[in-house]
Amino acid sequence: MAKRPTTESPLHGVDLLLADLDGVVYAGANAIPHAVESINRAAEGRRVGYLTNNASRTAASVAQHLTELGLLVTEDDVVTSPQAAVRLLADLVPAGSTVLVVGGDGLTTVVEAAGFVVTDSALEHPAAVIQGFAQNVGWVQLAEASYALGADETMPWVATNTDWTIPQARGIAPGNGTLVSAVHTAIGRLPIVAGKPEIAIFREAVARFGGSKPLFIGDRLDTDILGANRAEMESVLVLTGIDHSKKVLAADAKSRPTYLLEDLRELDQPYPAAVRKTTLRGATTVTVGDATVQLLGTAVTIVKAGRPIDLLRAASTLIWESGLPIYGLDVAPELYDEGSV
């Protein structure tokens, strides 16, 4: 869904702003710098909703956390991957079925609220397995899921999400994808996935909030941006979470954001246009702000560094539009510097 940016701000014309949480609004218990005030400012002119793949907490507890950070949020403003997963589950098994739940309160409460009977044992003959992240999920829970799914190869298996990692205050930790992978390794098949990058969670958000021109903010290319593109939404990759310059430059066509922001203060600021030129030597240059990058043959070099975020915008535009794979290019090492953006 990436487009050629103009000098208008990313929020121009947007009537629904959707934001991921981990790595965008907060890391662990703490707010990401500049996120709260920037989102509050954006909320003055449009509806704001929050999407999270993290299945460990309820929507109410997430809303309380966001409120404590200084955002104006109600429980209904939060769309969780368990909510999207249970909607998928309802189409796969009869109402009132017994479901084996691997996860915490954020998942169990949603499953129960939908009218299903919750169990944690394969001996209860569940009709399906639903799996989400919780810090206390261990071998016993993963084994019960494997026993149930292994005994019936047609049994529905729904995962809230498959994020490999999750940002925490102390650093990056394993996410639900690692837990799902353990069950997959044991039984030899994959689940139906509700969360990003699948579109179920985006559909849940649009159905709830409305809006004709949504904009989604995320920090991961492989879940947030890929999912927004699949849902045909414009997207922002903010460089405050998981993915930074190296992954941005190597992003494939399905995972490229509409906008790149260093932090959310830039959300309502003019987004600089990329200016393309061809030199007499046959080189292609892209300039964003004061930063210019050149492609000559297969060599990508810096002509003028400018601001780090503008340099990344220029380099990504040049590489993405070259039609050449990143491994076929000789890219200046400075463009991979994770210490800048």
Own/partner contacts of 301-305, CB < 8 Å, gap of 24 or more, are: 301/332, 302/332, 302/334, 302/335, 305/334
The parts of the chain modelled with pLDDT lower than 70 are 1-6, 338-341
| Phi, psi at 259, each rounded to 5° | -135, 145
Predicted local distance difference test score (pLDDT) of residue 298:
95
Q: pLDDT tens, 43-78?
A: 998 999 999 988 888 899 999 999 999 999 999 999
Find where tokens 């929020």 sit. Answer: 11
Spatial CA neighbour of 64 closest among 32, 91, 29 = 29
81 HSE (CA, 13 A, CB side): 33
Element (H, E) at 102: strand 98-102
Residues marked active site are found at 20, 22
pLDDT tens for 206-230 read 999 999 999 999 999 999 999 999 9
Contact 319, 251 (CB under 8 A): no
Residue that has been written with the tokens 């050629």 in this structure: 4
Which pLDDT score, from 0 to 100, does residue 253 have?
96
Reduced to 3 states, what is the DSSP secondary structure of residue 83? helix
pLDDT value for 2: 52
- Angle at CA 278, nearest 5°, toward 273 and 282? 150
Task: Supply the pLDDT for residue 56.
Answer: 85
